[in-house]
Amino acid sequence: MQIGGYTLYLATQNFHYTRIMVNADQPYRENPLLRLSYSLIAPFYDLAISRPLLYARTQSLRALPAGEAGKVLLSGVGTGLDLPLLPGLHHYTALDFNSAMLSRAKPRGTGLQVDWVLGDSMALPFADAHFNHAVLHLILAVVPQPVRCLSEAARVLKPGGTIIVFDKFLHPHQRAWLRRALNPLSCRVATRMDVVFEDVLCEVPQLQAVSDVPLLAGGWFRGIVLRKKPENESP
């Protein structure tokens, strides 16, 4: 079924109502090796990062409001390690570009209201101002175009809404020669190591930083909360 330029498929597969939307404009296709890599590592992904990042994930997700229900986008949900840590009152939309990752995430959504979307974080298949909050955990430093990823999250966020970011970033003017040297290879098969968050944020003027705290590895991993400015507030 074609709706607004997207292909909509319905399936139950013993889970909640499932939506898979595919936009014809999918920037992730510029790096097919990355998609293949995540398909191959999906069975081992949790073993590698689940326990080391649990505390940091938990701390980051404390920024998600738990007093009033809203629509929450999980952009780049991966294998769903965030799902058991989420409050149950919200309606979640869990999006990832890799079907193997989504398959592993679905069992972790038990007890939550979740729509599952196979799609691109850099070309979100949602209307403007659709969500109250967005969670971007370990996605901005993975996608080829982090500015486009953050811009898309801002576009689908309602004014006054929040974006919760947890990822690894370089600081402005940080040398980090080893990370930068490894980046040409790592960005093709797993993740980027050269993303400076401040450079990304300055390209998305409708967002402002509310908090920014170090969470892991001496501040390499940071927990950042962003707010979308109201429409009557100047950039």
The answer to whether the beta carbons of residues 131 and 33 sit under 8 Å apart is no
Residue 185 domain boundaries:
2-228
Question: What order of strands is seen across the sheet that includes strand 2-3?
Answer: 2-3, 6-11, 18-23
171 lies in some domain:
yes
Out of 2-16, 75-89, 158-172, pick the least confident.
2-16
Q: What percent of the chain has pLDDT over 90?
A: 58
233 lies in some domain:
no
More confident call, 12 vs 202: 202
- Whether residue 161 is predicted with pLDDT greater than 90 in this model: the reply is yes
The two structure tokens encoding residue 85:
């840590």
- Whether residue 71 is predicted with pLDDT greater than 60 in this model: the reply is yes
Backbone angles phi, psi at 137, to 5 degrees: -100, 120
The structure's pTM equals: 0.81
107 lies in some domain:
yes
Mapping DSSP onto H, E and C, the string for 81-144 reads CCHHHCCCCCEEEEEECCHHHHHHHHHHHCCCEEEEEECECCECCCCCCCEEEEEEECCCCCCC
Q: How many whole angstroms separate alpha carbon 76 and alpha carbon 122?
A: 10
More confident call, 31 vs 180: 180
The answer to whether the beta carbons of residues 206 and 231 sit under 8 Å apart is no
- Whether residue 7 is predicted with pLDDT greater than 80 in this model: the reply is no
Instruction: State the total domains in the chain.
Output: 1
- What is the separation of C-alpha 34 from the centre of its chain, rounded to a whole number of angstroms? 16
Helices (DSSP H) in the chain: which residue ranges?
Answer: 32-61, 99-105, 146-155, 177-189, 197-201
The answer to whether the beta carbons of residues 69 and 90 sit under 8 Å apart is yes
pLDDT for the residue 181: 60
- Whether residue 229 is predicted with pLDDT greater than 90 in this model: the reply is yes
CATH of the domain at 58: 3.40.50.150
pLDDT for the residue 220: 87
216 lies in some domain:
yes
234 lies in some domain:
no
144 lies in some domain:
yes
* Mean local confidence (pLDDT), 138-154: 94
The two structure tokens encoding residue 126:
């949602």
H-helix or E-strand spanning residue 207: strand 207-216
73 lies in some domain:
yes
C-alpha radius of gyration, the chain, whole number: 17
The answer to whether the beta carbons of residues 16 and 113 sit under 8 Å apart is yes
pLDDT for the residue 235: 53
